[in-house]
């Protein structure tokens, strides 16, 4: 379990903000580097995906082989992934390699090689990749990687990866004092740069598996800074476990789907409450309005037993790492608490969204303060204001 | 595990008395869906209100019901198992509704699962049917056929209950004995050995990606663990790969695959140099031990692996795998890598057209 955080070092102490999350029982260390993203149009989003692929392929002070060797010892080599809100780099290592791995991260963030060969490899792989149906359901943006050049990535890197937009979260077995010294040393002299603001937003969506139909309800942005607990408890009640509204209403009562989830989805302004329903294309499945109506009717009938179930499953998730936390970090990252990398990832993300340290017992205590009326009000409002989206094969109704 | 934060309860029901045929293909899967709802269809919600989660899975060798309980609530968990073991009854309407849900499940199977299933079929032909089943067969399920299946599969000789965590051993053991005593006695079990696997190449259109199946002879065999270690090492090196393996004590496969892309994994496997293999051995050795440790250090992991081995063969112990993994030599590891070679493995290529 995550021990109490020992402190957060602000920028005046270290060049970048760092959140230490020591765990005495761990035998490894996990480092997460979050880079805050501006709104990006499809071409820049494509560049960012290639940048993420290319960052671990070498930097000023480390070759790709060295990066792989030092960060691959415990089976999770350095990798960078793109979410709706953050570019995130993750590396794990034995405790005695932490200084080396932080040096690698600093080098990769500050001076990546971005070789033409690595870029070509990424562009080829990306251009021939078909994401899973569920990934496309969550993030249908279609990206064109073909025209990406090294100069594009250098510009994008310079614009986005800056010390003032970078945040570290370190979990596992380490001495926080030593960590502070190493971070200060490895990231010294990394100074803020001018932001290039040119990332307008547009969408073009991917082609869809003809065997499937997806209905999505996307709520308005919710800031978790003022009140993180009511939206989270509403998400537990609506989407977590087999007693959840989406399971009971969409699957059990109506037979509209096998896989249906409701969760908090990252947004640059905070999160959004999203419901995603995956159905066989020719089977009976709901329109967005039907799904919304059915869920709102169910929420209206929530009682203290619903709240008790939501708190019960929240306890299982928060205190015993049951894999039902209704938060997603990207189309590919479900928030996890059952392993160190997942906990460290979640701790960093949670801090950036709420300004609070991830403390499972504290979060559970916070959830317990949310009344039934508040939980219902948050769920109802976000469902009522949600936008309905449907993706289906050509010709399907 | 007296210091654990949870009590894990596993009920395993061997499939040895419930082998499927093309006309009953998926009945065990359907039964799993229905039985996990409990006596009145609300078992999950009732358990979740107590902080207990229930998951149910169907494998070729057995069906698994797993509960994770807060410490002190194991009695509630065991009472849930009593609902699952009681004589099963359902209606044509309940079957129809569940098959309708499973139609959605069939459509949304992950590409990794489709690739792995295709690899098995290509390797073993019609033997060892995929536990998922087919919609055509499921439409033939009746209340009587499922009641009969439940009585055969959830019979005493086929059951294993494992409880792991800070519990009173004597009281819990007595409760488990009471529970199992309520199950039917069961008759003799029919064996259904797999044929020798055949390497080949298959293309499927329902998924995108590639996979290779390495043939193995049972979990507690050195060659199997080396093959698993090799798959874990390559998957870790390449990233975005999956390794599918069910720790069966009989013959089976380790599937190493990659969703979304075609070509990269096979090219890597076929171009490994001796130096690459040495590097992979180091990571494979660690990853294999971590993979096994996962099933020895958490209550749910222990309940899963110990129960799965016991239900297949009384006395089979996960600890034996630790010793085998520690002794894995470089030569054994290279043999494990070779199991994924183009001449030895079944190659699956998924291209959605």
Tens of pLDDT, residue by residue over A193-227, are 655 544 443 445 566 677 888 899 999 999 999 88
Judged by CB atoms closer than 8 Å, whether chains meet at A278 and B48 is answered as no
pLDDT at res. A131: 79
Residue with tokens 């004589």: B87
Encode pLDDT of B106-128 as tens digits: 998 999 999 999 999 999 887 77
**CB under 8 Å to B17, separation ≥6 — which residues?**
B152, B153, B155, B157, B158, B186, B187, B189, B190
Distance CA B6, CA B52 (A): 10
Which of B50, B111, B208 comes nearest A312 by C-beta? B50
Question: To the nearest 5 percent, what fractions of chain A are helix, strand and coil?
Answer: 45, 20, 40
Measure the CA–CA gap between B253 and B216, rounded to whole angstroms.
5
What is the domain partition of chain B in residue ranges? 6-181, 200-351
Task: Outline where chain A has alpha helix (H).
Answer: 42-54, 64-71, 98-110, 116-127, 133-138, 150-160, 176-186, 229-239, 245, 288-300, 304-320, 340-354, 360-368, 372-384
Q: How far apart, in Å, are the Cα atoms of A363 and each of A227, A367, B75?
A: 11, 6, 28
Count helices and strands (H / E) in chain A: 14, 9
Cβ distance B237 to A248 less than 8 Å, yes or no, reads: no
pLDDT digits (tens, 9 = 90+) for A230-247: 999 999 999 999 999 999
pLDDT of residue A3: 39
Q: What is the CATH code for B6-181?
A: 3.30.830.10
Mean pLDDT of B167-181: 94
Q: pLDDT tens-digit profile of B216-232?
A: 999 998 899 999 999 99
Give me the mean pLDDT over the B160-173 stretch: 96
Q: Do A129 and B261 touch (CB under 8 A)?
A: yes
pLDDT in tens, A144-160: 888 888 988 998 898 88
Is the C-alpha dihedral spanning A150, A16, A33, A203 positive or negative?
Answer: negative
- Residue B206 is predicted with a pLDDT of 85
ipTM surpasses 0.95: no
Q: How far is B109 from chain A (nearest CA, A)?
A: 9
Q: End-to-end CA distance of chain B: give it in Å, rounded.
A: 51
Taking the C-alpha atoms of residue B342 and residue B266, their distance in angstroms, rounded to an integer, is 8
The answer to whether B50 contacts chain A (CB < 8 Å) is yes
- Is the model more confident about B351 or about B336? B336
* pLDDT for residue A340 is more than 70: yes
Q: Which residue has the higher pLDDT, A77 or A103?
A: A103
Chain B interface includes A72 (CB < 8 A): yes
Q: Give CA–CA dist B217/B223, Å, rounded.
A: 8
Residue carrying structure tokens 């004590």: B249
Average pLDDT over residues B310-319: 90
| Per-chain mean pLDDT for chain B | 92
Are B53 and A255 in contact (CB < 8 Å)? no
* Structure confidence at residue A152 (pLDDT): 86
Is the pLDDT at B129 greater than 90, yes or no? Answer: no
- CATH fold match for the domains B6-181 and B200-351: yes
Categorize the per-residue pLDDT at A2 as very low, low, confident or very high, splitting at 50, 70 and 90. very low
Q: Cα–Cα distance between B228 and B288 in angstroms, integer?
A: 7
**Contacts with A, B 313-332, CB within 8 Å:** none
**Chain B residue with the nearest C-alpha to that of A251:** B101
pLDDT at site A210: 77
* Cross-chain residue pair B48–A125, CB shorter than 8 Å: no
Answer yes or no: are the C-beta atoms of A213 and A279 closer than 8 Å: yes
Residues 102-161 of B with CB under 8 A from A: 102-108, 110-111
Mean pLDDT value across residues A68-96: 88
**What pLDDT score does A393 carry?**
66
Whole-angstrom distance, CA of residue A118 vs CA of residue A53: 8
Mutate to test the interface with B, among A135, A320, A334, A396 (most CBs of B within 10 A): A320
A309-319 pLDDT, tens digit per residue, is 999 999 999 99
Q: What is the CATH number of domain B200-351?
A: 3.30.830.10
Q: Quick one: CA dihedral A306, A312, A313, A317, positive or negative?
A: positive
Higher pLDDT, residue B315 or B189: B315
Q: Are B346 and B213 in contact (CB under 8 A)?
A: yes
Q: How many CB pairs under 8 A join A and B?
A: 129
């Amino acid at each position: 379990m995550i021990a109490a955080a020992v402190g957060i070092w602000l920028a005046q102490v270290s060049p970048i903000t760092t959140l230490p999350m020591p765990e005495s029982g761990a035998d490894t260390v996990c480092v997460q580097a979050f880079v805050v993203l501006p709104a990006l149009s499809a071409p820049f989003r494509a560049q960012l995906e290639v940048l993420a692929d290319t960052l671990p392929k070498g930097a000023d002070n480390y070759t790709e082989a060295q990066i792989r060797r030092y960060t691959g010892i415990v089976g999770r080599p350095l990798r960078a992934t793109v979410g709706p809100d953050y570019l995130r780099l993750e590396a794990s290592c034995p405790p005695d390699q932490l200084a080396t791995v932080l040096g690698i991260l600093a080098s990769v963030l500050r001076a990546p090689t971005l070789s033409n060969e690595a870029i070509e490899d990424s562009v080829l792989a990306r251009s021939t990749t078909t994401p899973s149906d569920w990934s496309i359901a969550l993030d249908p943006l279609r990206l064109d990687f073909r025209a990406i050049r090294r100069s594009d990535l250098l510009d994008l890197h310079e614009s986005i990866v800056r010390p003032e937009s970078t945040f570290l979260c370190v979990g596992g077995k380490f001495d926080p004092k030593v960590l502070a010294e190493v971070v200060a040393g490895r990231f010294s002299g990394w100074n803020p740069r001018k932001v290039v603001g040119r990332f307008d937003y547009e969408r073009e969506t991917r082609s869809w598996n003809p065997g499937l139909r997806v209905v999505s309800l996307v709520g308005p942005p919710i800031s978790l800074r003022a009140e993180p607990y009511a939206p989270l408890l509403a998400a537990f009640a609506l989407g977590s476990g087999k007693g959840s509204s989406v399971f009971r209403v969409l699957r059990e009562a109506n037979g509209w789907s096998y896989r249906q989830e409701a969760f908090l989805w990252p947004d640059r302004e905070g999160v959004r409450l999203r419901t995603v329903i995956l159905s066989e294309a020719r089977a009976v499945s709901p329109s967005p309005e039907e799904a919304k109506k059915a869920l709102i009717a169910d929420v209206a009938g929530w009682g203290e037993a619903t709240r008790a179930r939501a708190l019960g499953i929240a306890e299982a998730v928060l205190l015993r790492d049951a894999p039902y936390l209704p938060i997603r970090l990207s189309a590919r990252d479900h928030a996890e608490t059952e392993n160190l990398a997942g906990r460290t990832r979640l701790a960093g993300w949670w801090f950036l969204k709420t300004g609070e340290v991830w403390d499972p017992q504290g979060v559970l205590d916070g959830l317990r303060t949310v009344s039934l009326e508040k939980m219902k009000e948050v769920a109802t409002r976000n469902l009522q204001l949600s936008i309905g989206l449907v993706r289906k094969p050509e010709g399907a109704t | 595990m007296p210091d654990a934060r949870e009590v894990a309860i596993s009920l395993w029901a061997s499939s040895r008395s419930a082998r499927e045929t093309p006309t009953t293909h998926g009945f065990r899967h359907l039964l799993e869906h229905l039985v996990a709802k409990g006596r009145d269809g609300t078992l999950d919600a009732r358990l979740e209100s107590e902080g207990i989660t229930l998951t149910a899975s169907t494998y070729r060798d057995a069906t698994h019901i797993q509960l994770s309980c807060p410490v002190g609530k194991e009695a509630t968990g065991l009472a849930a198992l009593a609902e699952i073991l009681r004589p099963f009854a359902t209606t044509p309407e309940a079957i129809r509704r569940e098959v309708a849900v499973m139609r959605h499940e069939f459509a949304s199977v992950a590409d990794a699962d489709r690739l792995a299933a295709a690899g098995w079929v290509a390797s073993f032909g019609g033997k060892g049917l995929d536990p998922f089943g087919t919609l055509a067969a499921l439409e033939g399920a009746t209340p009587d056929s499922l009641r009969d299946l439940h009585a055969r599969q959830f019979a005493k000789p086929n059951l294993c209950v494992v409880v792991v965590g800070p519990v009173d051993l004597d009281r819990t053991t007595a409760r488990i004995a009471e529970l199992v005593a309520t199950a039917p006695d069961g008759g003799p079990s029919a064996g259904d050995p797999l044929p020798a696997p055949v390497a080949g190449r298959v293309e499927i259109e329902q998924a995108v990606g590639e996979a290779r199946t390495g043939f193995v002879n049972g979990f507690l065999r050195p060659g199997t663990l080396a093959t698993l270690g090799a798959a874990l090492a390559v998957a870790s090196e390449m990233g975005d790969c999956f390794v599918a393996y069910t720790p069966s004590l009989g013959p089976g496969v380790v599937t190493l695959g990659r969703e979304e892309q075609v070509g990269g994994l096979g090219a890597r496997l076929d171009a490994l140099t001796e130096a690459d293999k040495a590097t992979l051995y180091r990571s494979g050795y660690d990853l294999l031990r971590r993979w096994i440790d996962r099933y020895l250090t958490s209550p749910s992991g222990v309940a899963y692996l110990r129960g799965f081995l016991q239900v297949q063969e009384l006395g089979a112990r996960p600890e034996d795998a630790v010793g085998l993994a520690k002794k894995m030599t470089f030569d054994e590891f290279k043999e494990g890598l070779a199991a994924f070679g183009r001449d030895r493995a079944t190659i699956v290529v998924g291209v959605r057209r």
